[in-house]
Structure 1
Amino acid sequence: MSLNHCLALAAAVFVTGMAGFVVRRNAIVMLMCIELMLAAVNIVFAAFSRHHGDAGGHVFVLMNFAVAAAEAAIGLAILVEIYRRRRTVDVDELKSLME
């Protein structure tokens, strides 16, 4: 698989995640779309690492996995607590939390 193919795949995955984040109003779906965008970044790191023959990109991918796992765990814990208190995870209905 060439570098261009990997970058095209990463771009498609990133755009899909970005579109889902912008279009959907459910906080859980938005969190999943953020994870999709992070996966696209991992594809780019791995592709450039393979292209240049350097293992540095793979190290960043592993670090990004750890960050994504922590982000998902904390985000889901916050969303579970919000759902327990408000009975919704719709972002438009939760704007009152910002005030």
Structure 2
Amino acid sequence: MSDVTFGLLISAVIFAVGAMGVLLRRNPLVQFMSIELMLNAVNLALISFSASLGTEEGHIFVLMVLTVAAAEAVIGLGIIVGLFRKRNRIDVDDVHSMDG
């Protein structure tokens, strides 16, 4: 098995675990961590393709994805903390009641 195939296989497994976490869990914090896991799986796939092609574009895209993930982490955690302070529990079904 080549390095690219192994990297893509691991990336697909990590992405599937993240997708199942988003679809099956009701806790927003766990869903948030699952989305981050999916982003890291995509980063691994980009690095694998970049290494196989011998180019640096994949590394540049990974840096951009990490920047967006960091901004998402700040905003997402702020929303989750705000929701938890308003109520003493957090659930995905309660997010729609945060209006006004």
TM range (shorter): over 0.9
* Structure 2 residue runs without a partner (length 5+): none
Is residue 90 of structure 2 the alignment partner of residue 89 of structure 1? Answer: yes
Any idea what SS the aligned residue of 2:92 has? coil
Give the whole-Å Cα distance in 1 for the aligned partners of 2:31 and 2:56.
31
Give the whole-Å Cα distance in 1 for the aligned partners of 2:95 and 2:12.
31
Give the whole-Å Cα distance in 2 for the aligned partners of 1:81 and 1:97.
10
Q: 1:86 Cα deviation (Å)?
A: 1.9
Alignment of 1:66-85 (within 5 A): 66-85=67-86
* Structure 1 residue runs without a partner (length 5+): none
Alignment of 1:18-97 (within 5 A): 18-97=19-98
Q: What is the root-mean-square deviation in Å for CA atoms of aligned residues? A: 1.5
What is the number of equivalent residue pairs in this alignment?
99
Identity %, equivalent residues: 45
Give the whole-Å Cα distance in 2 for the aligned partners of 1:82 and 1:95.
11
Q: 1:87 Cα deviation (Å)?
A: 1.8
Q: 1:81 Cα deviation (Å)?
A: 0.6
In structure 2, the partner of 1:15 is: 16
TM-score (norm 1): 0.93
